[in-house]
Structure 1
């Protein structure tokens, strides 16, 4: 009887583990988002060239996280926070542009992003169906979207920007569902910083796509 009380049922242990991973990951997402906002504020008056260098440095930090996640959690978290700050500096010129030309679009995009992520995140977290195949489809769809974006630079396609943004939202809806399902299924607490980086990138891309849509709708 004593052993029965010493060890909780396996189902309870798994649920507690999932809650811990969810709490840690979303905590990292919140802090990274805060540092992103700080980076955007600090970089609001910096030259575009500095923003581009910050963009490269942010992805260097993201790649470095893949190598440090199994070696040092502290280093991985530090890289995640640096990634958020640098990404804020990188996106600052875009945010300044929208703030000066159509500030309402920023608020609209922010609200739409919150609802979008909450809806598809909840769907992905709750679904029992394995979404790994969906993630692979979304990856190749994203590659195709990038090619389409390059084409739009050189070819004037009617409503091309709107099509690009809507397709982007569809793709990242899939990524959000997959990443939130990983939050429920993963048993590795050390993966929390990487999951946070992935979810943060999902949120940022959705926000930028909504910015394009609302900016286009205000013209």
Structure 2
């Protein structure tokens, strides 16, 4: 129940801020750990074939789905599945990243730097804004569904500069999703939600990185 005179209970506001700060710190720690396991997976799987990559994609997203159910039962299991998810997605993308590391390492560094600036900028904007971004969340979700449909069309139809259009649209969509995720992080006080929020933010980072990689590597298209 909301107190009618919250200014009479300043400790409540302090406790809420403390929980928010704790949630932010734990979430970003989980993001960093997931990224580290992703990097480890990318290194261990650098000699894998494309078929192995597909298998680890499936296993990785199975772990992500498992997190949704584990979150209701065990925080430790949820954290473990987050770690497995990061490792498996690293193994899944290892062949792709190894290819770029050999053929166009500059694109990797450019994409990494651009991703850091992108996430920092839109993350800060989403965390700081007081405007409710729930409408943006709905728009971004349906736009993402449309982007997936567009990617399927590109498989069968030769659209001029289709890959570039796809990457740019993806960045626009994930700008919105990144802002939404960081606003959720600021507004929530549920410490138990940290692993799930970390998974969502890590997916934002990963997708943005892959979109930038597609853009920066276009100079080597044959």
TM-score bracket relative to the smaller structure: over 0.9
Cα RMSD (Å) of the superposition? 1.2
What are the equivalent positions in structure 2 for 1:50-199 lying under 5 Å apart? 50-199=52-201
Q: TM-score, normalized by length of structure 2? A: 0.93
Partner of 1:3: none
Partner of 1:4: none
Partner of 2:4: none
Any runs of at least 4 consecutive aligned residues in structure 1 with deviations exceeding 6 A, and if so which? none
The separation in 1 between residues aligned to 2:164 and 2:50, in whole angstroms, is 25
Q: What is the aligned residue count?
A: 213
Cα contact 1:105–1:214 (8 A) shared by 2: yes
The separation in 2 between residues aligned to 1:201 and 1:176, in whole angstroms, is 10
Cα offset for 1:70? 2.0
Deviation string 1:116-164 (CA, Å, 9 cap, x unpaired) is: 0000000000111111121111111111111111111222222111111
Cα offset for 1:113? 0.1
SS at match of 2:207: helix
Partner of 2:20: 18
What are the equivalent positions in structure 2 for 1:17-56 lying under 5 Å apart? 17-56=19-58
Deviation string 1:156-208 (CA, Å, 9 cap, x unpaired) is: 22211111100000000011000000111112100000000000000000000
Cα contact 1:148–1:164 (8 A) shared by 2: yes
Cα offset for 1:217? 3.9
The separation in 1 between residues aligned to 2:36 and 2:197, in whole angstroms, is 17
More moved, 128-137 vs 22-31? 128-137
Cα contact 1:65–1:194 (8 A) shared by 2: yes
SS at match of 1:142: helix
The separation in 1 between residues aligned to 2:151 and 2:66, in whole angstroms, is 28
Unaligned runs of 5+ in 1: 1-6
Cα offset for 1:8? 6.0
The separation in 2 between residues aligned to 1:18 and 1:120, in whole angstroms, is 19
Cα offset for 1:98? 1.2
